[in-house]
Chain A
Amino acid sequence: MPSLEIRDLFVALAATPDKPIVKGLNLTIRTGEVHAIMGPNGTGKSTLSKAIAGHPDYVITSGDVILDGKSILEMEPDERARAGLFLAFQYPSEIPGVSIANFVRAAVQARLAEGEELDATAYYKRLYAKMDLLKIDRKFTSRSVNEGFSGGEKKRCEILQMAMLEPTFSLMDETDSGLDIDALRIVAEGVNLMRGDKLGVLLITHYQRLLDYIVPDFVHVMYDGRIVKSGDKSLALELEAKGYDWVKQELAASSAAVANA
């Protein structure tokens, strides 16, 4: 079973490599599983997803990320993507003049062997099938990628790309607290439709609210660059009820206990 292993990962901004943001994070995700990472703002949740995807602003100073037994750290972002890694962006870029249909087509084409031409008819058939499944209007794909999109439309665009590219592992950065309920539903419905034994999901979120729609198999609490607590879906509810301060207090108590020992 394919797996994505994050081993003792340290990540910093490329500009300040001696100031780690992610500090020794360990996590293994298998296909068929949905993991949620929760945590207060500024604990490195978004940094984690971008670093795994290979964003040039971040540098992995130590540790490893292993996809199907192979380290991906030496791979270019596009190689990682073609190896089956998908990042659903919190703030996806606009690409003026490039329609969604053409953009996804280019991404699908990029996955074909050299010299192999995309079957345009089959492509559009599949695109429309996915759009029907996700209840997306046909007109949507003729618009330029993310240009002038509402929050909900951006999510729809990300989910459609994910459905078309069929990644093995999807990192979903949904940390924005301003996400409206409509956008949440789009993400949730998309993930629930694609959920299955061929896909592993790492859902990054700040609020429990998203987890009302996507029920995770595992919940992890991230604090100060590490996972400090893991559990099942009930952990999310506990967090919601007690707040992040509860985790902080527990942490302080345990480190005090370590110090006293």
Chain B
Amino acid sequence: MQPPSDLLAAPETEAADTATAVENPTVGIDQSVGDFTYDVKYAFDAGSGLNEGVIRYISDVKKEASWILDFRLKAYQTFLDKPMPTHWATKDLENIDFNKIRYYLSQGQKPKRTWDEVPDDIKRTFERLGIPEQERKFLAGVEAQFDSEAAYSNVKDIVAKQGVIFCNSTEALREHPEIFRKWFGKVIPTGDNKFSALNSAVFSGGSFIYVPPGVKVAMPLQAYFRINAENFGQFERTLIIADEGAEVTYMEGCTAPKFSTSTLHSAVVELVALKGAKIQYITVQNWAPNVFNLVTKRAIAMEDAEVKWIDCNIGSRLTMKYPGVILKGKRARGEVISIALANDGQHQDTGAKMIHAADDTTSVIVAKSISVGQGRSTYRGVVHIPKHLKGCKNNTECDALLINTNSRTDTYPAIVVRGDTHAVQHEASVSKVSEDMIFYMQQRGLTEAQAMSLAVNGFVNDLVRQFPMEYSVELKRLIDLEMEGSVG
């Protein structure tokens, strides 16, 4: 089984520029959102820049088996060999200085079992982010990652009773290689793109989950990721395997403090849904406006399996992320629900990939983007249905909302369908928040920012309803924060 490579390189077709970015000095972003940091003493620090020594250091600190070190070193070579995917997306990628990035930091702690054991400084950081409410509520389901290592985790014990394995990448590969090695790096091969290669070389943290056959995990498993050191790239690695008939929901939330120099986040997330399994993967991200968020996410769905990505991207300097599903088994179903908000100075280049590889497979893509000020959002999608298949279905819907005449949105849907027994639908729309709509809401007493926020929340409302309750509340709060800063 070799999935199609080059996930990041979706072809550009049917380019449809609806507006051109123009200087707009009146619209600013709220620079204070997430602008804080705490002095954290790192027990292990691989320094700046990347070379073989750094990779050996990481592997050594983690006490990894030699096959993992070999995997990392090979990936490093691939990373060096691969060109930057600059030609098709944005030249901004060229501004990443790989020599200034710190590839590994750790406090040298083992994951904590209870909230009480979590160091106060880490708690304080979470509190500042408004996370504790959910922590309290969902304490049992939380695995919070602090920088590269999970700082808190007690969910393991609870789900372990069902035979579920839930741990970080280091522990998983050390303790359960017989389960994870088989799929590790198989859904997303190292050489898929430059950033998956980078991740494969220096990965740290992330969640590895195995759900045994027929087990339905009732509580959503959660993890919070953030970056807390200047120039520190976070390269988490996640692999979720739902065995036959198993069901699991994973939730990931990201917020990061603001720094003056660019930060890189480059994760690799692989999902494996075996026969009849269901995986739902939910992300709400709110990156600081200086973060490069270059993530490769892909799932493989076997016979009758279902995979659903719910992906919400707010913030960052540049996000490139196209969750995909390879519909490998008959009647497999893949779904991507995507919300992207690009504020001033930000570029959200997001979308979805649906690779149909079996008969009667179904895929659904619903993408909504919001461009504010000079923010730019791009939908980039691939739907591939080859000729030899029968009865495949795809429905793609992309809607864009523009909140300023200077904002920009592009849509690049690449839908390749061969054969005559398939049903494919594609819809796209672009709308604007009109002056009259804002005035109408202001006339009812809402400030301009509140009015815009409400308009945006309304635009994404049908998608937000699919989020778990506490996430939709958080999402609304994030949108409010973004819109507060966007009114000139």
Contacts and interface: CB of A to CB of B under 8 A. Distances in A.
Interface of A: 53-57, 76-78, 80-82, 86-87, 89, 92-98, 103-104, 106-107, 110-111, 144, 161, 165
Contacts of B441: 93, 95, 103
Contacts of B455: 95, 98
B460 A81 contact: no
B125 interface: no
Given A96-B459, A97-B461, A98-B461, A106 B454 contact: yes
A206 to B, nearest CB: 21
Given A95-B437, A95-B454, A110-B450, A87 B459 contact: no
B111 to A, nearest CB: 37
Given A56-B435, A89-B440, A93-B434, A111 B445 contact: yes
Interface string B233-244: 000000000000
A107 to B, nearest CB: 4
B448 to A, nearest CB: 7
Contact of B458 (A53, A89, A144, A165): A144
Given A93-B434, A93-B436, A95-B455, A87 B462 contact: no
Interface string B329-355: 000000000000000000000000000
B458 A81 contact: no
A97 B442 contact: no
Nearest to B458: A97
B443 A87 contact: yes
A94 B433 CA distance: 10
A78 to B, nearest CB: 4
B336 to A, nearest CB: 20
A126 to B, nearest CB: 16
Given A81-B442, A103-B444, A107-B445, A98 B436 contact: no
A60 to B, nearest CB: 15
A55 B439 CA distance: 7
17 contacts: A53-B443, A56-B439, A76-B448, A78-B442, A78-B451, A93-B440, A93-B441, A95-B454, A97-B457, A97-B458, A97-B460, A98-B455, A98-B461, A106-B454, A110-B446, A144-B458, A165-B445
B447 interface: yes
Nearest to A108: B445
Main secondary structure of the interface of A (DSSP, over half): mixed
B444 A107 contact: yes
A150 B369 CA distance: 30
4 closest residue pairs by CB, A with B? A97-B458, A97-B461, A98-B458, A93-B440
Nearest to A89: B440
Given A53-B443, A77-B443, A161-B444, A106 B460 contact: no
Contacts of A144: 458
B437 A93 contact: yes
A90 to B, nearest CB: 11
Nearest to B464: A97
A107 B460 CA distance: 20
**A89, A96, A104 — which one has the most chain B CB atoms within 10 A of its CB?**
A96
A106 B446 contact: yes
- Greatest chain B CB density within 10 A among A57, A77, A82, A110 is at A77
A83 to B, nearest CB: 9
Contacts of B436: 93
A231 B439 CA distance: 33
A168 to B, nearest CB: 13
B444 A96 contact: no
B460 A78 contact: no
Contacts of A110: 444-447, 450
A144 B451 CA distance: 15
A81 B439 contact: no
A81 B443 CA distance: 5
Contacts of A57: 435
B454 A103 contact: yes
A111 B444 CA distance: 10
Contacts of B446: 78, 106-107, 110
Contacts of B434: 93
Nearest to B431: A96
Contacts of B459: 96-97
Interface string B354-395: 000000000000000000000000000000000000000000
Nearest to B449: A78
A110 B445 CA distance: 6
Contacts of A103: 441, 444, 454
Given A54-B439, A165-B445, 10 more contacts: A53-B439, A57-B435, A76-B448, A78-B445, A95-B440, A96-B458, A97-B459, A98-B454, A98-B455, A161-B444
A53 B445 CA distance: 11
A97 B454 CA distance: 9
Contacts of B448: 76, 78
A55 B438 CA distance: 10
B38 to A, nearest CB: 27
B462 A97 contact: yes
B461 A77 contact: no
A97 B476 CA distance: 13
A76 B440 CA distance: 13
Contacts of A107: 444-446
B168 to A, nearest CB: 38
Contacts of A86: 443
Contacts of A54: 439, 442-443
Nearest to A94: B437
Given A97-B458, A98-B458, A81 B437 contact: no
Nearest to A85: B443
A94 B434 CA distance: 10
A144 B458 CA distance: 9
A148 to B, nearest CB: 14
